[in-house]
Amino acid sequence: MTKHRYSFFLGCVIPNRLPQIEAATRLVAPKLDIELVEMKGASCCPAPGVIKSFDKDTWLAIVARNIALAEENGLDILVLCNGCYGTLIAGVHDLKDPETRARVNKILKGTGHQIKGTVTTKHLAEVLYMDIGMEAIEETIIRPIEARCAIHVGCHLLKPSDIRPWGVVEDFTVVDELVELLGATSVDYKLKDMCCGAGGGLRSAVLDVSLDMAREKFEAMTQAKVDCLVNVCNFCHLQFDVGQVQVNKEFGTDYQIPVLYYTQLLGLAQGFTPKEMGLDRHYISVEPFLEKIGMSV
Amino acid sequence: MIDRRIINGSKIDSELADDMTKAGIDRIRSCIQCGTCTGACPSGRRTAMRTRQLIRKALLGFREEVLSDPDLWVCTTCGTCTERCPRKIDVTEAILYLRNLACQEGYMRPEHRAVSVKLIETGHAVPIDDEKWSKMREDLGLSPLPPTVHSYPKAVKEIQHIIKKTGFDKLINYKEGKEDDKT
């Protein structure tokens, strides 16, 4: 029997736009003794930047239903997306209040679900760093990755900090440590902590401002001469990979920074092939990075 | 002599700040207009958005002016302003609260309405709306549809049940069976 079991929350973007991240995560998990238990019928988290911006009550009722699914599994939630994490962790927090819970349960009446407040939400970075631990991860590594990586942590992994487990907002090193554990180097770059620009409904409705933020980060990463960008949020990932093509078109630039989600990089270090990690499915070619580490798609 | 400047009283919603306080942005009245929020804002650095100004207008009760301001929608909700506010005001939540009111007044971007329609119809804000995504899933060794609402029609009904109860369909003026992707 596996040691670490979680309710696996997929969200929207991973299963429906970036399934390579789902595939990579499903492959690396068993090596770490993680069992991903499906949350059957889970919906959009719903997205904090959009749905919560439009109607907080609807947002809270839908997130309550998702949390209820995890409670029915009897397992805490593991989430890969910072947006979903932000919604689920805020949902868990808001629904601790008995009055709020009663009000939301009234709305849920008729769906067959009720929320009790028995589970919590953990981001992949938290599960890896705190539940699995660096030593256990290190044991699974058979092929160290020697590359210069720009780490992008993303906003909602850390903020609002009062309902996060980290105790810090700036100088957060967990993801850097997880990347360096694989043999890579985390390279410092200007505006490392800055938002990718995708959240808050910007990527859908104010694309020029959204892309300008990403552009600034691409420029800084290029100056820092990195081999790739590593992220722990699929929405940031989408912004950096798909958005990089859009930035190049909009701004006449030619940024070529390969973008990897952490489990994809981890998978390579565990001996999976680039194809198994879905690296042939990216919008910006990952080939230069693979060449650097002595692999090819 | 200095001319008196009088703000037309009928345009002022004196309850807006109280409503925000009650909604959980309980420290908003302690704002000292220092501008740390504006300085921390990555969107404000490249647009006309001034967070401090949005908060000030809300405090003064300039309801229409704030709710109709397109700058309300260039916040990425990154949360840096909230972290850095020396008065511990939840600035990001304040913006989300004002956005909720803006939607109630009908100030909603068509792209955002389209996302909402997708949520109502599929349970996903970003659904599989093209076979190529299912094909890609299969190529990667995954099930063509994820084990989400996409695999459970009953779950979509549950989402629609919630949405009817909270009135989200009415909020976005959703017209069942009459929506197209061009919204």
Domain coordinates in residue numbering, chain A = 4-124, 141-292
- Is B161 domain-assigned? yes
* B53 domain residue, yes or no: yes
**Domains identified in chain B, total number:** 2
pLDDT in tens, A110-157: 999 999 999 999 999 999 999 999 999 999 999 999 999 999 999 999
Q: What is the pLDDT of residue B177?
A: 87
Q: Note whether residue B134 is domain-resident.
A: yes
Q: Which residues constitute the domain of residue B124?
A: 110-171
Q: Which of A16, A56, A197 faces B76 most closely, judged by CB atoms?
A: A197
**Where is the domain boundary, B60, B78, B104?**
B104
To the nearest whole Å, the CA of B47 is away from the closest chain A CA by: 8
- Report, as an integer, the average pLDDT of A219-228: 98
Low pLDDT (below 70) residues in chain B: 8-10, 181-183
B106 touches chain A (CB under 8 A): no
Same domain, B91 and B129: no
The per-residue DSSP string of chain A comes to --SEEEEEE-TTHHHHT-HHHHHHHHHHTGGGTEEEEE-TTB-----TTTHHHH-HHHHHHHHHHHHHHHHHHTS-EEE--HHHHHHHHHHHHHTTSHHHHHHHHHHHTTTT--------EEEHHHIIIIII-HHHHHHT-SS----EEEEE--STTT-SGGGSSSS-SSS--HHHHHHHTTT-EEPP-TTTTS--S-TTTHHHH-HHHHHHHHHHHHHHHHHTT-SEEEES-HHHHHHHHHHHHHHHHHH-------EEEHHHHHHHHTT--TTTTTGGG-SS--HHHHHHTT---
Chain B CB contacts of A171 below 8 Å: none
Closest by Cα among B145, B133, B73, B59 to B102: B73
**A97 in contact with chain B, both atoms CB, cutoff 8 A:** no
**How far does B12 lie from chain A, in Å, by closest CA?**
23
- Quick one: pLDDT at residue A161? 97
- State pLDDT tens for residues B93-138: 999 999 999 999 999 999 999 999 999 999 999 999 999 999 999 9
Asked if the C-beta of A42 comes within 8 angstroms of chain B's C-beta atoms, the answer is yes
Residues B26 and B98 in one domain: yes
Residues 13-72 of chain B whose Cβ lies under 8 A from any Cβ of chain A: 42-43, 46-47
Q: What pLDDT is attached to residue A75? A: 98
Interface contact A21, partner B, CB < 8 A: no
Which CATH code fits A4-124? 1.20.1050.140
CATH fold of A141-292: Rossmann fold (3.40.50)
Domain edge (last residue) among B49, B76, B104: B104
Which chain B residues have a beta carbon less than 8 Å from that of A205? Answer: 73, 109, 111-112
Same domain, B132 and B71: no
pLDDT in tens, A178-195: 999 999 999 999 999 999
Q: Are residues B84 and B121 in the same domain?
A: no
Look at residue B183 in the predicted model and tell me its pLDDT. Answer: 43
State the smallest CA–CA distance between residue B88 and chain A in angstroms: 11
Complex confidence, ipTM: 0.95
Residue B183 resides in a domain: no
**A236-240 mean pLDDT:** 98
Please answer yes or no on whether A62 and B162 come within 8 Å at the CB atom. yes
- Cβ contact (<8 Å) for A53 and B147? no
Looking at the complex, report in whole angstroms how far the Cα of residue B61 sits from the nearest Cα belonging to chain A: 20
Pairs of residues, one from chain A and one from chain B, whose beta carbons lie less than 8 Å apart: 202
Chain A residue with CA closest to B93: the answer is A53
**Burial class of B87 by CB neighbour count within 10 A (0 to 12, 13 to 18, 19+):** middle
